Amino acid sequence: MIPARVALALQQPYPVPTCVKDERDRAWLAAMFDGEGTISIRRYDSYRKEVKQIYQDGFVAFTSVANSDTELLEQCIVITGYGSSRVKWRGRAGDIDKRGIVTRRDNYGWRLEANKAIDIIRAIYPYLIAKRKQACIAYTLDKLNKQGRIERTIPGHGGRRVSKEIQDKKKLCWELIKKCNQREPVDIPTWIEEPQQEIQ
């Protein structure tokens, strides 16, 4: 029955592999985000040249990790195949305490936005501890963004604006994730979703 079982298995949906293939790498990367990283949402203004005004607020999920040890960030890049590290700020040679220890070193950052950030969130979510709420909120925002793009293709929808319901939810995601990152207590709405593997 092996050929028949193989044929049946090939007909079933299967999870699309994330950008991080090894389970140990996923756990390590999740620990990096819990300790040294950020999962958040950036707000930007959608500007329409033809009317010379802000048309509608835009929101995009992003992830970032900052550290003074570039080896850690380079490992993040090797594991995921995404992005590059950049200097966030330079330490000053004079920042030395009375014990002769340098108190401020160069700091480097690794940052991703939109689809690549969501790929990271989906990969590390099962292993996150401190930033599980942020991961859920950012993932839900991304789904709302994609839903809004579908709305714009529906005939008779009335232009490029997404519905008020979706826009209000996106703004709430932005507000909630800021509170989470400020360690404020946050009640998650029931429509917030957990990151899921894509299925084909």
pLDDT digits (tens, 9 = 90+) for 45-58: 765 555 555 566 78
Token pair belonging to 171: 């703004």
Share the mean pLDDT of the chain: 82
**With bands split at pLDDT 50, 70 and 90, how would you rate the model's confidence at 77?**
very high
Residue 200 is predicted with a pLDDT of 47
Q: Report d(CA 175, CA 181) in Å as an integer.
A: 10
Question: Is pLDDT of 152 > 70?
Answer: no
**With bands split at pLDDT 50, 70 and 90, how would you rate the model's confidence at 142?**
very high
* Backbone phi, psi, residue 154, to 5°: -80, 125
- Of 160 and 68, the one with more pLDDT: 68
∠ CA(10), CA(15), CA(20), 5° rounding? 130
Q: Helices (H) and strands (E) in the chain — how many of each? A: 6, 4
Pair 40, 31: CB distance under 8 Å:
no
Question: Is pLDDT of 5 > 90?
Answer: no
Token pair belonging to 193: 């979703």
**With bands split at pLDDT 50, 70 and 90, how would you rate the model's confidence at 113?**
very high
The SS3 of residue 110 is strand
* pTM value surpassing 0.85: no
pLDDT digits (tens, 9 = 90+) for 165-195: 999 999 999 999 999 999 999 999 999 999 9
